[in-house]
Structure 1
Amino acid sequence: MDEKTGYTVLIVDDDPLNVKLLNVFLSKHHSVLGAYSGEEALKIMESVPVDLVILDIMMPGMDGYEVCRRIKANESTKFIPVIVVTALSSKNDRIKGIDAGADEFLVKPIDRVEVLTRVRTLLNNKHLYDELKSERDRVQSYLDIAGCIIVAFDKDGTVKLANKKCCQLLGYTEDELIGQNWVDIAVYDDEKERVSRVFERVSNGNLESVKVNENGVLTKNKEQRIIRWNNSYLKDSDGTIIGTLSSGIDVTEERLATKKLRESEHKFRLLAENANDVIWTMTKDGRFTYTSPSVSKLRGYTPEEVAKQPLEEIFPREHIEKILDAMARFHDHLKAGKRKYSETFEIEQYHKDGSRIWTEAIATPVFDEDGTFEFFLGVTRDISERKRADEEIKRYTAELTRMNEELKTLDRMKDEFISNLSHELKTPLISIKGYSELVHDEVMGPLNSRQKAAMKTVLDKYDHLSFLMDSLLYMSIVKSGKVKYRLDPVRIEDTLKKVVDYFSFRSQEKDLIMVFDFQEHLPLMKGDVEYLPYLFRSIIDNAVKFSPNGSEVLVRAFEDKDNVHVMVSDYGIGIPEHEIENIFKRFYQIDSSKSRKYGGSGMGLYVSKTIAEIHGGKIWVESSEGTGTTVHVIFPAMSRSN
Structure 2
Amino acid sequence: MTGKDKILIVDDEKINVAVLTSYLADNYDVITASNGEEALKIVKKEEPDLILLDVVMPGMDGFDICKIIKHDYKLDFIPIIMLTALTSRNDHHKGIEVGADDFLKKPADRFELDKKITALLRIKEHHDSLLQDRNKAYEYLDYVGVLIAVLDRDYKLIHINQKGADILGYNRNNIINRDWIDLIVSESYANLVKRKYDMLLDGIMNEPECSEYPIMTITRKEKLFKWHYSVLRDAKGNITNILMSGEDITEKRKDEIKLMEYAKELQKSNEIKDLFTDVLRHDLLNPAGLIKSFTELLEETGTNEKQQRLIENIKKSNLRLIGLIDNAAKLAKLESINEMAFVKTNISQMINDVQDNFEQDLKSKNITLKSETYGQHPALANPMIEGVFSNLISNAIKYSPENTNITVKVEDLADKLKISVADQGDGVPDKDKEAVFTRFNRLHKENIKGSGIGLAIVKRIMDLHGENVGVIDNPQGRGSVFWFTLKKAL
Same fold (TM over 0.5): no
Greater relative CO (CA pairs within 8 A, separation 6+): 2
Larger radius of gyration: 1
Task: Give the TM bin, normalised by the shorter chain.
Answer: 0.3 to 0.5
